[in-house]
A and B are shown apart, each in its own frame.
Chain A
Amino acid sequence: MSLLEIKNLRAAVEGHEILKGVNLTINPGEVHSIMGPNGSGKSTLAQVLARRDTFEVTGGEILYNGKDLLRMKPEEAACEGVFLAFQYPVEIPGIGNAYFLRSAINAIRKYRGEDEMDAMDFLPLFRENLKLLEMDEKLMNRSVNEGFSGGEKKRNEILQMAMLQPKLAILDETDSGLDIDALKIVARGVNALRGPERSMLVITHYQRLLNYIVPDFVHVLVDGQIARSGGPELARELEETGYGWAEPATQQALPA
C-alpha cells in the first residue's frame, strides 16, 4: 500500500484557486522532490498536507496510510506521522525549545497510547541530534526560533524532525537561505533519517539541494498542477533550462 495518495487535489485561498488538480503517489521509503517556479503552489500543497485550514480544499482527496487525511486536524496528522519543515519557521517568544520538543513528543506518544518520555530519556536523544546537526545546546535554552539566524531556524526544523521521527517528512525549501556548509549539515541530517519506513517530500526551487539529498522521483509543479515527472536527471535538466518553459503558464495564473 502506498503511504500517500493525492488524487486530483484542488485548493483555494480567499476564493483564488491555487492547486488545480494535483496527483501524486508516494510509497514507503521513497523520496520525492517537488520543484517549480515561485508561486506555483508548492507551499500550499505542503500546508494542505499538514492540514492548515487557511487553505480551503475544493476538490479531490488525500489518502494517508489508508486514512482520509483531509478529515484530520493538524495535530492528528502530526500524531499520525506527518511532519512539515516550514519554509518560514515561526518564532514563539516565551516557549523554550527543549520544553516545546518534549511537549510535542509526549503529545504524539499520548495519542499513540504510549508512556510519556521523561527528562532522563529525552536529554541523551536530544543531545545526540543536536550533535548531528552541529547545533549549540545553548541555543536550546532560548525560545523557539527566537533570534535564530535563517540557517539556525532551518536546522531547528530538521532537529525537530529527527526528534519526532515522522513517517512522512515534508521539507519546504529547507535549502533556501543556507550557505553551502549549512546545506551539507542539513542534508546529512535528512539523509540520516532516510529509511524504508520513512517517506519524504522535498520541496525546492533549486537543484542544488538534490545533489546532497538524491531523490527517487522529481516532479515539477507549474500553476497548481504537476507538469512533468521523472527521475533525478529531471532536476539537472531544469538546472540548465530553468523554468522559462513554464513561465507563460504561471503568468496567466497570476491574478491581475
Chain B
Amino acid sequence: MATTAKLQNYFEAFNEMEARGEASEPVWLHQLRSEGWASFSANGFPTVRDEDWRFTSLAPLTRTPFRRATAADDLIPGIEALHLSGAACRLVFVNGRFAPGLSATGNLPAGLQVSSLVQALGDKTGGAEQHLGRYVNLRRDAFAALNTALWEDGAYIRIRRGARIEQPVHLLFLSTTGGAPTMTHPRTLIVAEPASQAVIVEDYVSSGNGAAFSNSVTELVAAGDAIVSHYLVERENYDSFNVSTLRIEQARGANVSSHSILLGGGLVRNNVHPVLNGPGAECLINGLFVGAGRQHLDNYMLVEHASPNGSSRQFYNGILDQQARGVFHGRIVVHKDAQKTDAKQTNRNLLLSDDARIDTKPQLEIRADDVKCTHGATIGRIEDEPLFYLRSRGLDERSARNLLLYAFAAECLDRMMEQPARDFVEELIQKRLREIANAEQQASPSSQEARADASPEEVA
C-alpha cells in the first residue's frame, strides 16, 4: 500500500521486537504481537477522512521517522521533583523500559500487587496473561494495534478481592528527548478484583526538549463492585506526540472514574473507552485540557453501555489560548439490552484568543428504548462582568484572569475525590494556568491603559 514507505521505521521496530520475542516470549504473546502488526500494517495510520479523526491530522506524526528509544539511563537529574508524595508506590519507566532504580515498590499495602508487565508475564502466577490484549480492538484501532505489536514494558497492577488501597499508585513514564525522535509504546494492565478499590495515576513527562512519540495503551478491568479512579496526566514538552488509549472493562456494579488532565504535549490524542458490561455499573469520565501555542489536544470518548441500569457521566472542560486547538468527540453507544441507561455528557470550553479553536461533537447511538441520554456543549470567553467584579475589589487584571481560569478548571478538580492525587494535579494545573495568564498579559497590554492614554485632555 501507498503508506508502506512511511511505515518503514515501524516495520524495523517490529522486526527487532519479533527477534527478541521469539527467544523470550510465550507463543500466545508472540501471536498477539503479530496480530497487532498485521492489523496496523494493513491499515496504516488513520487520516482525516476517517470520521473518528476528522479534526486531527496525523501528518506531523507520520512524517517523523521515530525510532525505538535506546537503553534507558537510570540517572535522571531532578526526578524527585516529579514524584507524587504520599503514593503507595511508584513505578518509573524511562523510554518505555522499567527503571527499578528509580522506582519504589517496597512496603506495599496488603492486597496490592505491582510490577512491570514483563515481570508479571514471567511470573505466570499474577493472572496478567488472562487479560492482556483481551479488551482493545486491534482491527478498529490503529494505535492500539501498533502498541500491541511494539510494546516493550509497562505496569501491571492487581488489587486483590476486597482490598481497599487509598494511596495512589504512581506510574511515571519519562521520555528522554533531545536526540533523534524516539518512540515508546507503554502497555499497562490494571486488574481490580471484586469489591477492591484503588487509585492509579499515569503520568507522562519528558526530560529535555525535542520530539518523542508516546503511544500508550492501558487496559483497566474492574470486576464486580470494584471502585477504581484512574488519572492521566499529560505534561510532556510541546514537541511531543502523545496518543493514549484507556480501555475500561466494567463488571456488575463496578464504579470507575477516569480523570484526564492534558497540560502538555504538542499533538495529543486522548482515547477513553469504557464498556459497562455488567448491570448497574457507573462511570465518570472527567477531563481538563489546557492548550496554548500550537498545541493540538484531541479527546475521543467512546462510552459503551452494554448492560442495563448503567450510568455514565462525561464532563470535559477545555481552555485554549493562542493558536491552540482542542477537540472533544463524545460518543455514547447504548446497546439493545442496556435498558434504563442514564448517560450524560457536557463539554465546556473557554477560548482565550481569536485564533484558538475547539471542535466539539456529540454522537449518540441508542439502540435501547428506555434510556436517558443528554448532551451539551458550550464555547465562551472570559466574561467582562466577573472580571470587572474581581478587579473592582483590588485584584489586578492578571490575577483576576488567572482566578477565573482556575475557577473554570476547578469544576473538573471538584470531581476528583482522592487525596493526595487531587492536590498533585491541582498544583500542576495552577502552574500551567499561571503560565497562560502571564503570556496573556504580555500579549495584550491593558486595554484600560490604552484607553486612558488615548482620552483627550479634557480641560484644555
Contact = CB atoms under 8 A, between A and B. Distances in A.
Given A57-B455, A61-B459, A75 B395 contact: yes
Contacts of B449: 73
A104 B389 CA distance: 11
B136 to A, nearest CB: 36
Contact of B388 (A74, A83, A104): A74
Interface stretch (A31-39, A88-96, A213-221): A88-96
Given A92-B404, A94-B408, A164 B390 contact: no
> Chain A interface mostly helix, strand, loop or mixed?
mixed
A131 interface: no
B410 interface: yes
A195 B406 CA distance: 38
Interface residues of A, number: 39
Query: Most chain-B Cβ atoms within 10 A of its Cβ — which of A53, A71, A79?
Result: A53
B452 A100 contact: no
B124 interface: no
Interface in B443-458: 446-449, 451-452, 455, 458
A53 B452 CA distance: 10
Contacts of A108: 394
A86 B394 CA distance: 15
Contacts of A77: 392
B411 A93 contact: yes
A53 B394 CA distance: 15
A73 B448 contact: yes
Contacts of A7: 459
Nearest to B449: A73
B384 A100 contact: no
Contact of A90 (B386, B399, B410, B447): B386
A83 B391 CA distance: 11
B428 interface: no
B399 A107 contact: yes
Nearest to A62: B458
A73 B391 contact: yes
A52 B392 CA distance: 8
A60 B388 contact: no
B423 interface: no
Given A94-B410, A94-B411, A52 B394 contact: no
A160 interface: yes
A74 B404 CA distance: 17
Contacts of B384: 54
A78 B394 contact: yes
Interface in B389-436: 389-397, 399-400, 403-404, 406-411
A56 B456 CA distance: 12
Interface in A58-105: 59-61, 70-75, 77-79, 83-84, 86, 89-90, 92-95, 100, 103-105
A122 interface: no
Contact of B446 (A52, A73, A83, A94): A73
Interface string A193-204: 000000000000
B80 interface: no
A148 interface: no
A220 B399 CA distance: 38
A59 B456 CA distance: 8
Contacts of A84: 392
A155 interface: no
Given A78-B392, A90-B385, A104-B393, A95 B448 contact: no
Contacts, number: 93
Contacts of B396: 73, 75, 107
Contacts of A95: 403-404, 406-407, 410
Q: How large is the interface on B (under 10, 10 to 19, 20 to 34, 35 or more residues)?
A: 20 to 34
A51 B389 CA distance: 11
B393 A78 contact: yes
A130 interface: no
A75 B403 contact: no
Contacts of A78: 391-394
B386 A60 contact: no
A48 interface: no
B394 A75 contact: yes
A160 B451 CA distance: 29
Nearest to B409: A94
B30 to A, nearest CB: 51
A154 B367 CA distance: 50
A174 to B, nearest CB: 15
A50 interface: yes
Nearest to B457: A61
Contacts of A50: 388, 392
A51 B399 contact: no
A164 B394 contact: yes
Contacts of B411: 93-94
B385 A75 contact: no
Query: Most chain-B Cβ atoms within 10 A of its Cβ — which of A72, A92, A143?
Result: A92
28 contacts: A50-B388, A50-B392, A51-B448, A52-B388, A57-B455, A60-B458, A72-B452, A73-B391, A74-B388, A74-B392, A75-B395, A77-B392, A78-B391, A78-B393, A78-B394, A86-B392, A90-B385, A92-B390, A92-B404, A92-B407, A95-B410, A100-B390, A105-B394, A107-B393, A107-B396, A107-B399, A111-B394, A143-B407
Interface of A: 7, 50-54, 56-57, 59-61, 70-75, 77-79, 83-84, 86, 89-90, 92-95, 100, 103-105, 107-108, 111, 143, 160, 164
Given A107-B393, A108-B394, 15 more contacts: A7-B459, A53-B447, A53-B451, A56-B451, A73-B446, A75-B391, A75-B396, A79-B394, A84-B392, A90-B388, A94-B410, A100-B393, A104-B394, A111-B394, A160-B393
